[in-house]
Structure 1
């Protein structure tokens, strides 16, 4: 078993079988080797809190060991070093966070493959957004990068959203500053939880001491949206 540490570049990723192919030089010869992406199989000793999402172009270090009684070799202890192509996209995003890519699906997970670099980014969808249709796979879409300050969590968000009808109504009510009806579903010592639009949207009202004592589940309130986001809805009572 070899203990040398090698460096190379990720050239392809098989998401379905969960392995990467790495090109590297050894004894002045270009070679390719595969490595499983799971922490157990890579032998990752860093135990990072946020698991790195490997992408084409990643410069990595790894060790090599024999398999099948020495008939083949695989990489293990795969560790991310840097990715120049990804850094180029991050630099561009700082000035103009608009890119073109193609919708991809691996198992039940959606990705966007950036057109120029072929880097895959997980697609981040709102909890009030419909999943893309498989009819649109491989179609060109515009997207922005999210969490660019945390390389291990970078994801993509579409510029064009297919929100559920209730969220589209909420957007219109927010723009027009129009009150909507909310139904109390739960009361805790800290908040009043409500449903809107027949239970399609949920939010909560902060509860201070002495408030909410006259409310019970099923009561109806009139509220106004103060913030609408892909992961959070903020409301206030009238």
Structure 2
């Protein structure tokens, strides 16, 4: 039997993120069985899913490439009871404890009770944790909880870049910034605020744009600042 058209249901009992494979436990004809699958397989669904421990999934079976055993394919995420419970808890208090983990060069946090791994989402101007922080206890909250394929963790402790810290000071104290024009596009002017690592878009009229060129100095004020967005306004005499 090279391919089985039957659709099975099971639960992920093991994941090796580095080698990108996982094990599904399922019941067939009253017998408990297990089968492996590649988590990065193209047929695991059109929209990428970060498979987690205890995910309930549907799948089909076929012979492995070596032809010596069955493997799962067309693996589709159904739900995860542990994640569902954490989402319910987040509605009351969105604060959890976990440990930093490094998987395939990327940072994740493992929730202490469920052992579920969530990818860490950093802001545009936030530094990654250092590798020595792996396995360190840390607090986090869940974000994107309305999108099962995009649920991530945001740490409560942030290590922002020097540029963001400067921007925060200038925003709080309403200090003017001598911004440098980095690029002039057909629709806007792009400014470097504190070097090239923090850029803002300045809306200008067509007449104003004609007089602006790359390298010009334009005094601006920050009128809106979040960890992912900065909005500036030109300072006028």
Q: TM-score, normalised by structure 1?
A: 0.90
Deviation at 1:194, TM superposition (A): 0.6
1:91-148 Cα offsets, whole Å, 9 max, x none, are: 2222322111111111221111111111111111122221111111011111111211
Whether 2:182 is the aligned partner of 1:185: answer yes
**SS, match of residue 87 in structure 2:** helix
Do the aligned partners of residues 116 and 208 (structure 1) sit closer, same or farther apart at CA in structure 2, a change above 3 Å counting? farther
Aligned to 1:133: 130
Task: Give 1:87's aligned residue.
Answer: 84
- For 1:74 and 1:113, the matched residues in 2 are separated by 28
3-state secondary structure, aligned to 2:33: strand
Residue 61 of structure 1 corresponds to 58
Equivalent in the alignment of 1:118: 115
Counterpart among 15, 29, 32 of residue 31 in structure 2: 29
Provide the secondary structure at the position in 2 that maps to 1:210. helix
- Residue of 221, 229, 233 corresponding to 2:230: 233
Following TM superposition, by how much is the alpha carbon of 1:164 offset from its aligned partner in structure 2, in angstroms? 1.3
Question: 1:134 & 1:97 partners in 2: Cα distance?
Answer: 26
Shift of residue 213 of structure 1? Answer: 2.4
Name 1:223's counterpart in structure 2. Answer: 220
Name the residue aligned to 1:98: 95
Q: What TM-score comes out, normalization by structure 2 length?
A: 0.91
How far the C-alpha of 1:227 sits from its partner, in A, is 2.2
SS at match of 1:211: helix
The alpha-carbon deviation at position 68 of structure 1 amounts to 6.8
Structure 1 10/206 Cα, relative in aligned 2: closer, same or farther at 3 Å? same
Q: CA separation in 2, counterparts of 1:5 and 1:189? A: 53
Q: Which residue of 1 aligns with 2:40?
A: 38
Matched with 2:199 is 202
Q: How far off is 1:229 after superposition?
A: 2.5
Gaps of 5+ in 2: none
Over the aligned positions, Cα root-mean-square deviation in angstroms equals 1.8
- Contact conserved, 1:112 with 1:121, CA < 8 A, in 2? yes
* Equivalent residue, structure 2, for 1:10: 12
How many residue pairs match? The answer is 233
Check conservation: 1:61, 1:78, Cα contact below 8 A.
yes
How many angstroms apart in 2 are the aligned matches of 1:154 and 1:138? 21
Instruction: Decide whether the 8 Å contact of 1:190 with 1:208 is kept in 2.
Output: no
